[in-house]
Amino acid sequence: MEKKLKKWTNCNYIIEVTYTDDEKSNAKNQMIEIFWKDVKVPWFRAWHAPKHLIEEKLNPEYIEMWVYEKLINEWLKAILDENKDIKFIWEPYDLNKDDEKKTISVKLDIYPEVEVKDDKWKKNKMKKIESKATDAEVDDALTNLKKNYADYVDTDKIQKDTVSKIGLGFLDKEWNEIEKWTVYLWEPEFTDKDFAKFYDQFIWKEKGKDFEIAYKEKDLPPTFQKRKSEKEAKKIKITIKDIKKVVLPEFTEEKIQKLFPDQKDVKNEKELKAYIKWEIERQKYENELIKSVEEYINDIRWKNMSITIPQTLIHEEFKSRIKNLEDRLGWENGVKQYFQQLWDEKAKAFVEDISKAAQDSLEKFFILQQIAKELELDIDWNKGEHLDVEKKLYEKVMWL
């Protein structure tokens, strides 16, 4: 058997072997022997049936494919051993055969290398990260946290700190109700600019009272606009069905210890606010760091460095993203149901978007590796600490 290895594109090689009739026949016999004891032939015990009868029981296409894979795999290891300087990815694909020439070929990808066009990128800077939390942000976060543990008590009038159950009845010009549904009004609506013109019509209204407002679709807030009826509405009858007052808890030391047992250093509301401030600033820093590094990499990727990602790596990253999707949607059935809900073109576009995202992510990763190498960053790529590379890159670039 003869073997050939030739470079094909930026990221793969073609491995071709030429076989003899005897080598193909030997490979076929080896396969039949593997199945000899498992294939049942009438009137014969295991290991005793003639091999030609075993062959008749097997799918000819399966035999042929197995033989060709056997022939190519016998030489793959030898080729890899002879070319240890080439970083192959062990996922052969695109098997082709030519029975007349007695050749078989497969493609084998290699790990990509970044092409560095110039070193002008070393003058690039990142935006300085501003992560300081304001008092207003801390107070808002504390209020939102308290809302998670709030009590809701009956009250008679709509106020800013209430949640109201509102019935909407859409009336035609003859005052017949053509559609109705229920909405809830509370802080998100009261602070929304689109609801501002209706604020005075709802505030202080009493539970159990009805009133009407004119139906002008373009002026209505989004909460009121999801009508399906084809009939034209003239008025909206508002019915205040229920009102609850939101009573925020007081975070006493006892309450804090009960609600946040893992936060041993937080004993009172002052310390809780300090922890919230630290957490806001941590999240701000990480979000801005990710954004800043991504902009930095993208600028270099388009101007100073380039890379071609082999399809093997893209395929593996694609499978990983589909696996994550399966986990979020409830394994394979959840993903299947999700795709069934999409149109064919939309489902196809969704898959293409995942594939493009996989390629984009890999390009950024290898570019980031090259940048870290060029800047001599001390990185343990196997350790994988959260944002370790991004933090060291930011610190290095800011001091260049």
Query: Can you tell me whether residue 301 is helix, strand or coil?
Result: helix
CATH 3.10.50.30 fits 151-247, yes or no: yes
Look at phi and psi of residue 33 and say left if phi exceeds 0, alpha if psi is from -120 to 50, else beta.
alpha
Task: State how far Cα 146 lies from the chain centre.
Answer: 31
Considering only CA atoms, which of 357, 295, 291, 290 is closest in space to residue 325? 357
Considering only CA atoms, which of 114, 106, 113, 116 is closest in space to residue 87? 113
Output the six-digit token pair for 106. 């497969």
* pLDDT of the residue at 265: 84
Considering only CA atoms, which of 367, 346, 347, 357 is closest in space to residue 314? 357
Q: Would you list the DSSP string of 92-154? A: -EEEEEETTTTEEEEEEEB----EE--SGGGG---PPP--PPPHHHHHHHHHHHHHTT-EEEE
* pLDDT of the residue at 162: 94
Residue whose structure tokens are 């998670």 = 148
Q: Where in the chain is the domain with CATH 3.10.50.30?
A: 151-247
pLDDT by residue (tens digit) across 310-341?
A: 999 999 999 999 888 777 777 666 666 766 66
Task: Provide the CATH topology of domain 2-111.
Answer: Alpha-Beta Plaits (3.30.70)
Q: Where in the chain is the domain with CATH 3.30.70.1050?
A: 2-111
Beta carbons within 8 Å of 276's beta carbon, 6+ residues apart: 138, 141, 142, 145
Output the six-digit token pair for 135. 């008092």
d(CA 216, CA 151): 36
Q: What are the φ/ψ torsions at residue 163 (nearest 5 degrees)?
A: -115, 125
CA angle 149, 153, 156 (to 5 degrees): 145
Output the six-digit token pair for 394. 């930011």
pTM: 0.70
Beta carbons within 8 Å of 105's beta carbon, 6+ residues apart: 14, 15, 16, 17, 72, 95, 96, 97
Buried b (16+ CB within 10 A) or exposed e, 333-348: eebeebbeeeeeeeee
Query: Can you tell me whether residue 169 is helix, strand or coil?
Result: strand
d(CA 92, CA 90): 6
Residues in the chain, how many?
Answer: 400
d(CA 184, CA 166): 6
Whether 11 and 310 have beta carbons less than 8 Å apart is answered as: yes
* pLDDT of the residue at 331: 65
d(CA 177, CA 169): 6
Residue whose structure tokens are 């009868």 = 53
Q: What are the φ/ψ torsions at residue 229 (nearest 5 degrees)?
A: -65, 140
* pLDDT of the residue at 46: 67
CA angle 287, 293, 298 (to 5 degrees): 125
Q: Which helix (H) or strand (E) holds 77?
A: helix 60-82
Whether 31 and 64 have beta carbons less than 8 Å apart is answered as: no
Spell out the per-residue pLDDT of the chain, length 400, in tens: 787 888 887 778 898 889 888 888 888 888 777 777 677 777 677 666 776 776 777 777 877 888 888 888 878 888 888 888 888 887 888 888 888 888 888 889 999 999 999 999 999 999 889 999 999 999 999 999 999 999 999 999 999 899 999 999 999 888 889 988 899 998 888 888 888 888 888 999 999 989 998 888 778 887 777 677 778 888 999 999 999 999 999 988 888 888 888 888 888 899 999 999 999 999 999 999 999 999 999 999 999 999 999 999 999 999 999 888 777 777 666 666 766 666 677 777 888 899 999 999 999 999 999 999 999 999 988 877 889 999 999 999 988 6
